[in-house]
Structure 1
Amino acid sequence: MAGAAKGAWQPVAQAKAYELVVDRIEEQILSGALRVGDRLPAERDLASMLGVSRAAVREAIRSLEAQGVLTSAVGVGRDGGTTISSLPSQALTRFLRLHVALANFPMPDVIEARVMLERGSVRLASRHANPEQLAQLRALMEAMAAPELPREQFNELDFEFHIALAQAGGNTLVADMTTAIRASMRAPILGAFHRSGDWPTLAAALDRGHRDILAAVEAGDGDTAAAAVEAHIREAYDLLLYSRDE
């Protein structure tokens, strides 16, 4: 059996059994007894170890699959069974993105969170970005400057630019959190783009911000890059807020 020894799986109370099964699996992950790629015991065996019904185990597994923690595959042997997900980063991004979108946080709170995250990530990018990452950022920036670019495409490129900046910093957690927050704003930002009465002026202002950020990152100047990204985010918010109120 991969992962924890049988003795680690102690019986749980019957009340809300599936939640307690979830707790036991989480305990094994947090303790390091279960790691990415490890396979859980078979459903029947796990139910016996924990003293619960197979239905409770099945429901717990479905819950953790929905969160991206577990992956199940039909079959026997190496290719079958339920394993700890090999894509925890994507799961975290999806989880955060949905919760940011559903929680209806006040926009100023979201902006402050973006500023804190992206100031840190561009400082890191100024030190760690490699030539390929810088080339990708420049290509995204130039693509956004194309005349007659549809607003939908501009929004997608802008999203990719900010995510690429975060990824160039080399901090996976910061990149995932930046992705989640920016992704949760995709629809509101696009709506503001469409409501803008002067799209060329708005697009030009965003382009200037991107160029200031990238120039500082390419120069290895983390302080200037941090100041530039904060100015860009705040200016964009002010412009989008004005568009929303028109």
Structure 2
Amino acid sequence: DFKSLVETRILLELKTVRLAAKRRTEEDLAKMEAALESYKEKVLNNEEAVQEDLLFHLAIAQACGNSTINRMMLIITPEIINNFEKYHVCDKDQGPKRIKEHQNIFDAIKEQDTQLAKQMMKDHFNELYKYCYNI
């Protein structure tokens, strides 16, 4: 169900972002930045950006250097996309806020600040967590 999916995603990504901040390479940063730019472009053009949003998160998972976590993210991502679209989780009016949150996550990973990266991801998921428990 959607709540289980969200809980699993949050648990995975809070660990993933810390590992990514610790282990990321320049190549990983380039992939994250490209995904972030694609997301920004879609949002600023007022287009659906659910897939671009998740591509940014998948780039973080890849950067964590843990192939099992990366595979788990790849497994749950299609279902996340379906549910986000079904429940209109990523409303377009939240776009500018989400861009800032993604930028904060990216910056913390780039600076290799594991605690800040985790906190920025936690902040990013705050609305999703609230939303999930109100449906």
What is the TM-score with the length of structure 1 in the denominator? Answer: 0.49
Q: Provide, for residues 166-185 of structure 1, a one-character-per-residue CA deviation record: whole Å limited to 9, x for no partner.
A: 01000000111122222211
* Gaps in structure 1 of 5+ consecutive residues: 1-104
Distance 1:156 1:195, change over 3 A: closer
Deviations 1:2-44, CA, capped at 9 Å, x for gaps: xxxxxxxxxxxxxxxxxxxxxxxxxxxxxxxxxxxxxxxxxxx
SS in 1 for 2:45: coil
SS at match of 1:145: helix
From 126, 131, 134, the equivalent of 2:21 is 126
- Detail structure 1 runs of 4+ shifted over 6 Å in the superposition: none
- CA contact 1:202–1:239 (8 Å) conserved in 2: no
Secondary structure of the corresponding residue to residue 65 of structure 2: coil
User: What's the offset of the Cα at 1:115?
Assistant: 1.5
Pick from 90, 113, 116: which aligns with 1:221?
113
Shift of 1:210: 0.8
What are the residue-to-residue correspondences of 1:88-237 with 2, within 5 Å?
105=1, 107-146=2-41, 147-151=44-48, 154-193=49-88, 196=91, 199=92, 201-237=93-129
Change (3 A) 1:204 1:240: farther
* Amino acid of the structure 1 residue aligned with 2:66: N
Distance in 2 (CA, whole Å) between partners of 1:172 and 1:184 is 20
Structure (1/2) with the larger helix percentage: 2
Give the superposition deviation at 1:236: 3.2
Q: Describe the superposition over 1:70-120 as per-residue Cα deviations: whole angstroms up to 9, x where unpaired.
A: xxxxxxxxxxxxxxxxxxxxxxxxxxxxxxxxxxx2x33222211211111
Q: CA deviation at 1:217?
A: 0.4
AA at the equivalent of 2:121: V
Displacement of 1:129 in angstroms is 0.9
- C-alpha contact (below 8 Å) 1:212/1:228 kept by paired residues: yes
**Aligned pair count?**
133
Q: Which has the larger radius of gyration?
A: 1
1:192/1:240 contact within 8 Å kept: no
Using the size of structure 2 for normalisation, the TM-score is 0.85
CA RMSD of aligned residues (A): 2.3
Deviation at 1:195, TM superposition (A): 8.8
Unaligned runs of 5+ in 2: none
**2:20 touches 2:63 (CA, 8 Å); kept in 1?**
yes
